[in-house]
Amino acid sequence: MLKIAITGPESTGKSTLAQQLAQHYGVPWVPEYAREYIAHLGRPYEAHDLEKIARGQLQRWQEVLGAQPPLVLYDTELLVLKIWSEHAYGVCAPWILQELKRQDVDLYLLLNIDLPWEPDPQREHPHLRQYFYDWYKRELEGLGVPYVAISGSSEERLLNAIQAVEQVRQLRSFQ
């Protein structure tokens, strides 16, 4: 089973790309649990909510993995929660950090900030997009995980992402 995580700053097209790739490959994708959680929260989120969101995200992953599809796409992952927590609160729950190190992903697609910002009540930092992109890149490099930066229009992103996924699939077939 090949696991692809789509990550990056707010409003970079993560959900759109996850849906497009899922449709292209005819496989499941795991939506971002944080959106659902915050939409039903009824109050501003707090630091302790981020661990609940992380646990909910991982539970969703397990539900999809149980069906054993050949490829699964994660619309966001625990690096998003780490960066969100550290930016908002200056710390990250140890459990999230521990699970991030154990996160089993074959390829991360880091989405660039070259799409226009789309306002959304759950988005907070249109003025910090480059700051966050650079932070994601540093974190991925620090984790030593395979990643590919994805840029361009929505159509170009899809083509670039498919190319990256196919390269990983070819590498795995030779192992």
Domains and CATH numbers, the chain: 2-174 (3.40.50.300)
Q: What are phi and psi of 4, to 5 degrees?
A: -120, 125
Give residues with Cβ within 8 angstroms of 73, minimum separation 6: 4, 6, 18, 21, 22, 25, 27, 28, 29, 30
Give residues with Cβ within 8 angstroms of 87, minimum separation 6: 132
- Contact predicate 34/57, CB 8 Å: yes
pLDDT 10s digit of each residue in the chain, 175 long? 999 999 999 889 999 999 999 999 999 999 999 989 999 998 999 999 999 999 999 999 999 999 999 999 999 899 999 999 999 999 999 999 999 999 999 999 999 999 878 767 666 777 789 999 999 999 999 999 999 999 999 999 999 999 999 999 998 877 6
| Alpha-carbon dihedral sign for residues 69, 84, 14, 169 | negative
3-class secondary structure, 30: strand
Residue that has been written with the tokens 């932070």 in this structure: 135
